[in-house]
A = this chain, B = another copy of it.
Amino acid sequence: MAKPRSYKLLCPIARGLDRIGDRWTLLILRDLHAGPARFTDLQRGLTGIAANLLTERLAKLVEDGIIRKTSGPHATTLYELTDLGHKTQNLIFEIAMFGAQFPPENDIVDPGNLRTVAVTLGAAARRVSAEGLSVSASLIVDGEEMELMAGDGTASVAYRPASEPDVVLQTSYAALMALSEGEISEEVFVQDHCRIDVKVPGRERDLFSLFSLILAVFRES
């Protein structure tokens, strides 16, 4: 496989970049933070990464002990983070906080799935102090289901259908990004860009509060 480029420096930053600094690598890890994924899940989430590159990156990540291959249902292969891989959590969050300060390109290409959304929201949710909030919500973005939860002072987002949600909130990726960019207010978002189905009356207020807190995480960057 020919040895890849390396900085060959003793510096821990350079050593880290030698493992995760290649193009696409951090985005692959980003998607895996949403949970185990198949080759094609990753390929779709990364919008057009060449198959050979994805193969190469995955092989190197496995070799470095950052991810591993496992067997999923129907004899499929799944990739998942190892303990070492999970330690990129904060790192990826910090990149997201930094990157959120820059405007997007003019010609955006849409991802084939929304693992990115679950991961970004999840990273922010983990920083939120959700004291006094209690809600289990199903967040459906462009048809993809995520679970948003708050309780015991902490909040989290998972990339999977919610079980017994108090509130079901449907929206679009575009609206969600417009909200987080500050292009639309929370009021406009709720009024014009959401379909909300309250299963347990009153809990929608906790959901809105949680949304505000998550947004605040990005603003404070």
Contact = CB atoms under 8 A, between A and B. Distances in A.
Interface of A: 5-21, 23, 26-27, 30, 47, 64, 84, 87-88, 90-92, 94-102, 104-105, 107-111, 116, 119-120, 173, 177, 218, 221
Nearest to A5: B23
B13 A27 contact: yes
26 contacts: A8-B108, A8-B109, A9-B27, A9-B47, A9-B108, A10-B110, A10-B111, A10-B173, A11-B111, A11-B120, A12-B97, A12-B100, A12-B218, A13-B26, A13-B27, A13-B30, A13-B92, A13-B95, A15-B99, A17-B95, A18-B102, A18-B105, A19-B99, A20-B98, A87-B97, A87-B221
A104 B12 CA distance: 8
A15 B104 contact: yes
A-B CB proximity, top 9 nearest: A16-B99, A15-B99, A12-B100, A91-B94, A12-B99, A11-B116, A16-B95, A12-B96, A16-B98
A27 B119 CA distance: 26
Contacts of A88: 98
B14 A99 contact: yes
A221 B12 CA distance: 12
Contacts of A119: 13
B91 A87 contact: no
Contacts of A116: 9, 11, 13-14
A8 B95 contact: no
Contacts of A101: 84, 87
A200 to B, nearest CB: 32
Given A87-B98, A90-B94, A94-B90, A17 B26 contact: yes
A15 to B, nearest CB: 4
Given A14-B27, A18-B99, A91-B91, 8 more contacts: A8-B105, A9-B108, A12-B96, A16-B99, A19-B102, A87-B98, A90-B94, A94-B94
Contacts of A107: 8
B7 A27 contact: yes
Contacts of A23: 5, 21
